Amino acid sequence: MELICLGLNHKTAPVEVRECFAVGNTKLGASSSELIAMTGVSESVVISTCNRTEFYLVGPDARLAFDRLEAHLADTIKVHHIAKPHFYRMEKSAAARHLCRVVCGLDSMMLGETEIFGQVKHAYQAALEAGSTATVLNKLFQRAFGVGKKVRTETTIQTGSTSVGNVAVDLAEKIFGHLKDSQVMILGAGEMSRITAQSLVSRGARSIFVSNRSYDRAVELANDMGGQAVRFDDWQSVLERVDIVISSTGSPHAIIRRADVEKARRARKFRPLFFIDIAVPRDIDPAVGEIEEVYLYDIDTLEQLAQEARSRRQQQIDDCERIIDAELAKLNLPGT
Amino acid sequence: MDRWFLIFSTLFAVIAGVWGMISVHRGSRSPWTVSWMVAVLVCQLGFLSLRGQQRAACPLADFGEILVFLSWSLTLFYLLVGPAYRISLLGVFTAPVVMVFQAVALLPGILDSQPAKIVGGNPWHETHAATSVLGYGALALAAVAGVMFLVLDRQLKEQHLKSGLFRNLPPVRELLVSLERLLWLGGGLLTIGITAGFIMPHEGAALGHLLAAVSVWSAYALLLGVKSVRGLTGRRLSLLTVALFILSLGVFAFI
């Protein structure tokens, strides 16, 4: 029995190619079953995420399995011949190693991301329930999940936020804990504000106020976020209520000055206030950060923190590869 | 035998503190802090139980016993508050305070080596002593939470966010909420203690002690009043909590 992997990902194929091969979450099991119906294939697992689609097959002959799979893809997906150069092919130990790298997030767009672990687990579970796995893939996937857990506990590849939005959210959680009780105000309805606010909402922030010079855009973003639009002249009155302010206007000068915050302090009973200034030029006067209960972070600081996390993750790659090699050496898997 | 309980309790506090700090320095939280602090509490109970039998009363008759009772109260409140609010790091900060109090109690001459039986004890006196020291335990833990807030606040302000300590400190809001609750709890217990102190029979010599206790109570009441009505920044609340606790220890000088 020989193990093979055929796949494409964000490094080898653009999104317009990847989307042609994407398999919906609910169809992963059926897709795996279709593959074992082919002669020369005894086991299969199909993994499909927004950044990759991969087919793990086991058969008596690797070359035959590749041919059957490609023929199947050519039959079912019309653009397969155009997409062929975007596919990578791996066999035996290289395929096993690749799976472990995928599970550990080493092959992800965002190095060390953890979501892929769950996605692969879901794909394996679907194949298992569809009866398309047996000894080889069961052993391989179980070991890959073990490797993923070991990498998570023994290295720091998955720690630290690597994007400005996530760094801001981590800081917000360090200040306020669970964000479900936190109110957020967005000044400026630009893309960066939207992304950062979405990160906050994804971690539980509920009350969102959006203020923008163009009220229509504020309403639009507020509707998208399930929040409330505020006229730009009124943002100071909202400052009394909120815990987090994200500012990203296109203003050439500071919008939030120390005096504005000083005015709101008493009404806020001096509760902590977190300012995230992602505008260039900056929207928030640096003097605001001198106020006792205020924590002010600008785009440079957030980007620097994200960069440091990315560098720390890069430094961990060798350690992760060593763990993968050591664990696979112990596996002694037929087909690899 | 009672001293051995105290020695072991102090050693466990040292282990909890040192082990916890090493873990934090390495970037993780020690899962054993709570266990070590439970060991500290058990040994404190052993000590207080033996002293209680020797005194035939609540063991608060000398300065050493007061310090141990205070440490017990501090440990007890940590075990009630820390794990419940997932502030296990509170144990790493609490352990050194317990260690210092108990180390002082172990110094020669601080604990009566032959504790005399207390005759003619008064229940109001015991209520006064026990609830007051319990209250001080809660206030001590509030001060510990205040120190933790000050450390975190400084790191956030100066944007020093890489240390293991920063990663493991609980969020600002949770620290401030815990601190305030502990202040209310400590203040409440102190109120009962002082009320009992006024009811119990006392001599003229106790006047200084009662006046000092009332001053401490008033200061905490003022702090809580200002915090509730006007509001206070986390930094001021923490600084005042730490300062008030240190100053309030002066009450014991009048015993």
The residue annotated as part of the active site, out of A5, A20, A50, A104, is A50
pLDDT above 90 (res A120):
yes
Among all residues of chain A, which has the CA nearest to that of B87?
A177
- Distance between B237 CA and the closest CA of chain A, angstroms: 11
**Average pLDDT of chain A, as a whole number:** 91
Distance CA B20, CA B174 (A): 20
Mean pLDDT, residues B131-152 taken together = 92
Task: Kindly report the CATH number assigned to the domain that includes residue A65.
Answer: 3.30.460.30
Residue B2 pLDDT > 70, yes or no? Answer: yes
State the burial class of residue A37 (Cβ atoms within 10 Å of its Cβ: 0-12, 13-18, 19+).
exposed
Mean pLDDT of B185-209: 85
Check B231 against A305: CB less than 8 A apart.
no
Residue A321 and residue A290 share a domain: no
% of residues, chain B, pLDDT over 70:
95
The closest of A56, A63, A66, A58 to A1, measured between CA atoms, is A58
- pTM exceeds cut of 0.90: no
Establish if A293 touches chain B: CB-CB under 8 angstroms: yes
d(Cα B104, Cα A48) in Å, to the nearest integer? 65
Residues A195 and A294 in one domain: yes
Please list the residues that pair with A267 across neighbouring strands: none
Mean pLDDT over the full length of chain B? 88
Of A175, A269, A305, the CB nearest to B171: A175
Pick B111 or B156 by higher pLDDT: B156
Identify whether A54 is part of a domain. yes
- Using a CB–CB cutoff of 8 Å, tell me whether B173 touches chain A: yes
Rounded to whole angstroms, how far apart are CA atoms A281 and B195? 60
Tokens (6 digits) for B188: 């409440």
Q: Are A245 and A276 contacting, i.e. CB atoms less than 8 angstroms apart?
A: yes
- The span from the CA of A329 to the CA of A327, in Å, is 5
Assign residue A225 the CATH number of its domain.
3.40.50.720
In a domain, A336, yes or no: no
Query: CB distance from B174 to chain A under 8 Å?
Result: yes
Let me know whether A297 and A325 are in one domain: no
Cα torsion A98, A99, A105, A109 to 10°: value is: 60
Does residue B185 have a pLDDT over 70?
yes
Model confidence over B44-66: pLDDT tens digits?
Answer: 999 999 998 888 777 877 888 88
pLDDT value, residue B181: 93
| Contact state of B234 with A272 under an 8 Å Cβ cutoff | yes
Same domain assignment for residues A239 and A215? yes
Number of H helices, E strands in chain B: 9, 0
Q: Is residue B204 scored above 70 in pLDDT?
A: no
pLDDT tens-digit readout, A50-109: 889 999 999 999 999 999 999 898 888 876 677 788 999 999 999 999 999 999 999 998
A269, with CB counted inside 10 A (0-12, 13-18, 19+), is middle
Determine the pLDDT at residue A122. 95
Contact A269 B230 (CB under 8 A): yes
Residue in chain A closest to B233 (alpha carbons) equals A270
Identify all chain A residues contacting B238, using CB atoms and an 8 Å cutoff: none
Q: How would residue A200 be classed by pLDDT, with cut points 50, 70 and 90? A: confident
Structure tokens at B154: 């400084």
Q: What is the pLDDT of residue B89?
A: 76
Choose, out of A153, A175, A183, A307, the residue to mutate when testing the contact with B (most B CBs < 10 Å): A175
**Would you state the structure tokens that stand for residue A266, as one six-digit string?**
């008493």
Q: Chain A residues with CB inside 8 Å of B176's CB?
A: 272
Find which of A158, A170, A174, A243 to mutate to test the B interface (most B CBs within 10 Å of its CB). A174
Q: Is A198 on the interface with B (CB under 8 A)?
A: no
Residue count (chain B): 255
> Region B241-249: what's the mean pLDDT?
92
Q: Is the pLDDT of residue A186 over 80?
A: yes
Position A336 scores a pLDDT of 65
CA distances, B82 to each of B28, B141, B205 (Å)? 17, 10, 39
Tell me, yes or no, whether A67 lies in a domain: yes
Judged against a pLDDT cut of 90, whether residue A201 lies above it is answered with no
The reported pLDDT for the residue numbered A97 is 95
In terms of CA atoms, which chain B residue is nearest residue A300?
B159
**Is residue A219 domain-resident?**
yes
Q: What does the pLDDT read at residue B158? A: 93
3-state secondary structure B175-192: HHHHHHHHHHHHHHHHHH
**Which band of pLDDT confidence, cut at 50, 70 and 90, is reported for residue B21?**
confident
Nearest CA among B92, B77, B80 for reference residue B23: B92
Find the mean pLDDT for residues A319-324: 93
Domain assignment of residue A303, given as a range: 164-307
- The tens digit of pLDDT for each residue in A123-164 reads 999 999 999 999 999 999 999 999 999 999 889 888 888 888
Q: What is the pLDDT of residue A335?
A: 63
User: Least CA distance to B167: which residue of chain A?
Assistant: A174
For residue B84, is pLDDT > 70?
no
**Cross-chain residue pair B235–A271, CB shorter than 8 Å:** no
- Name which of A285, A233, A236 is nearest A257 in CA terms: A285
Looking at the fold, whether A186 and A292 belong to one and the same domain comes out as: yes
Give the span between the Cα atoms of A107 and A11, in whole angstroms.
9
Query: For residue A138, what are the CA distances in angstroms to A125, A195, A331, B12?
Result: 10, 39, 12, 47
Could you give the CA distance from residue A212 to residue A248 in angstroms, rounded to a whole number? 10
A169 plus A277 within the same structural domain = yes
| B249 min Cα distance to partner chain A (Å) | 28
∠ Cα B232 B233 B237 (to 5°) = 70
Do A121 and A247 lie in one domain? The reply is no
Is A268 in CB contact (< 8 Å) with chain B?
yes
- Looking at residue A194, its pLDDT comes to 83
Domain annotation covers residue A301: yes
Is the pLDDT reported for residue B238 higher than 70?
yes
CB proximity B154 to A under 8 Å: no
Would residue A85 count as lying in a domain? yes
ipTM confidence: 0.83
In terms of CA atoms, which chain A residue is nearest residue B85? Answer: A177
The total number of structural domains that make up chain A: 2
Out of B27, B152, B173, name the one closest to residue A176 (CB). Answer: B173
Same domain, A152 and A8: yes
Give dist(CA B109, CA A209) in Å, integer: 64
Whether residue A176 is found in the same domain as residue A147: no
Neighbours of A322 (CB within 10 A): 12
Q: Are residues A188 and A126 in the same domain?
A: no
The answer to whether residues A273 and A322 belong to one domain is: no
Verify that A102 and A39 share a domain, yes or no.
Answer: yes
**What are the chain B neighbours of A271 within 8 Å (beta carbons)?**
231
A5 in catalytic set: no
The sign of the torsion formed by the CA atoms of A194, A200, A203, A205 equals: negative
Indicate whether A231 pLDDT > 80.
Answer: yes
pLDDT at B251 over 80: no
Count of pairs with CB atoms under 8 A, one residue in A, one in B? 50
**Cα gap A119→A111, rounded to integer Å:** 16
Which residues, in sequence order, are bridge partners of residue A277? Answer: A247, A298
Per-residue pLDDT for B228 more than 70? yes
pLDDT band at B255 (very low <50, low <70, confident <90, very high): low
The answer, for B171 touching chain A at a CB cutoff of 8 Å, is yes
Q: For a pLDDT cut of 90, what percent of chain A falls above it?
A: 63
